[in-house]
Amino acid sequence: MISKRLAELRKRKKWSLQYTADRLGIAKSTYAGYESGYRQPSLEAIKELASLFETSVDYLLGIVDNSSFKLEHEDKTKDLELTEKDLLANVRLTIDGKNLSQDELNQFIAFIRVKREIEAKR
Amino acid sequence: MISKRLAELRKRKKWSLQYTADRLGIAKSTYAGYESGYRQPSLEAIKELASLFETSVDYLLGIVDNSSFKLEHEDKTKDLELTEKDLLANVRLTIDGKNLSQDELNQFIAFIRVKREIEAKR
DNA sequence: ATCGAATGTGCGCGATACGCGACCAACCGA
DNA sequence: TCGGTTGGTCGCGTATCGCGCACATTCGAT
């Protein structure tokens, strides 16, 4: 059960085994063992896993079926203004699992502003 | 942390070590080791513990403070993968206060992908 | 098509530590 | 006083955890 959940969460983030293991500070083979079911993570390790994947230990163990992220936000949709840097301070925007730099975001904002200006003239 | 929580839960129910161990199907010394901090329960054992005490594994591990099944991940920086539509369903992205359409976001994603491809060749 | 790097997968070994039985001190009611 | 219960620790056998290493597979670049 835990192995399936880990693989699903990691692939959703488009992370490799090596990258995930590095984030956790463990060997690649160790984390791979978790996903293959060959090993079970220790109590300390599973706390780190839940933290890294932003979910609950209960979800990893299959006790509950909802990941905590969805559980908290499914009722209230949040506003996220992309030009507000302090709002984005605690959000890491990614595309294909890779971080979005501030420069890239600024380029996008400029692009959208120009696009809207042109559309407004019609 | 887990030892304190276990002792607290057991005493609240006025159970003895022996009775608790019997309910779990393990040796008294084993469960006593959990409470004294001398041993850590295995993954399988901690699931049984949470079930017996009608609480969550996250509570036993000290990840959350309330024994109910509410889970939270505030103050932590969240990942927001822009290509995951179901994640974005709960977030309204805006630029200059104006909603960002799905088309505009798709254009941006395509733009970033091309940009990264070019940069990777250098 | 071919090479090489990156990624996924599995195994053996050393070391950790889990679970159990045995044991001990403290407490308490008969 | 004493038998019984409770909380707690220790030694031992062994299950298994984490790591290094090797092999299989995928994938992009030439």
- Confidence class of residue A50 from pLDDT cuts 50, 70 and 90? very high
* Closest among B80, B89, B78, B76 to B109, alpha carbons compared: B80
Low-confidence ranges of chain B (pLDDT < 50): 69-75, 122
- With 0-12 / 13-18 / 19 or more C-beta atoms within 10 angstroms meaning exposed / middle / buried, residue A57 is buried
Range with the lowest mean pLDDT among A43-57, A58-72, B51-65? A58-72
CB neighbours (10 Å) of residue B90?
16
Q: Are A92 and B79 inside 8 Å of each other by CB?
A: yes
- Confidence class of residue A21 from pLDDT cuts 50, 70 and 90? very high
- Residue B57: its chain A contacts at CB < 8 A? 56-58, 61, 63
- In terms of residues, how long is chain B? 122
Q: Are B61 and A80 inside 8 Å of each other by CB?
A: no
Range with the lowest mean pLDDT among A3-12, A18-27, A37-46, B60-69? B60-69
Region A27-53 average pLDDT: 95
Computed over every residue of chain B, the mean pLDDT equals 82
Helix H, strand E, coil C: the string for chain A is CHHHHHHHHHHHCCCCHHHHHHHHCCCHHHHHHHHHCCCCCCHHHHHHHHHHCCCCHHHHHCCCCCCHHHHHHCCCCEEEECCCHHHHCCEEEEECCEECCHHHHHHHHHHHHHHHHHHHCC
- With 0-12 / 13-18 / 19 or more C-beta atoms within 10 angstroms meaning exposed / middle / buried, residue B85 is exposed
Range with the lowest mean pLDDT among A34-48, A49-63, A94-108? A94-108
pLDDT digits (tens, 9 = 90+) for A66-109: 665 444 434 455 667 887 776 677 787 888 777 788 888 888 88
* Closest among A70, A101, A112, A32 to B84, alpha carbons compared: A70
- With 0-12 / 13-18 / 19 or more C-beta atoms within 10 angstroms meaning exposed / middle / buried, residue A75 is exposed
- With 0-12 / 13-18 / 19 or more C-beta atoms within 10 angstroms meaning exposed / middle / buried, residue A28 is middle
Please compute, for residue A38, the number of CA atoms within 13 A of its CA located in the half-sphere on the CB side: 6
Q: How far apart are CA A31 and CA A90, in angstroms?
A: 27
Q: Are A81 and B97 inside 8 Å of each other by CB?
A: yes
Quick check: A24 CB within 7 A of strand C? no
Distance from residue A63's CA to nucleotide C27's C1', rounded to whole Å? 40
Residue in A54, A94, A115 nearest the CB of B76: A54
What is the pLDDT at residue B73? 41
Report in angstroms the alpha-carbon separations of A32 from A46, B108, B116: 14, 34, 28
The identity of residue A111, as a single letter, is F
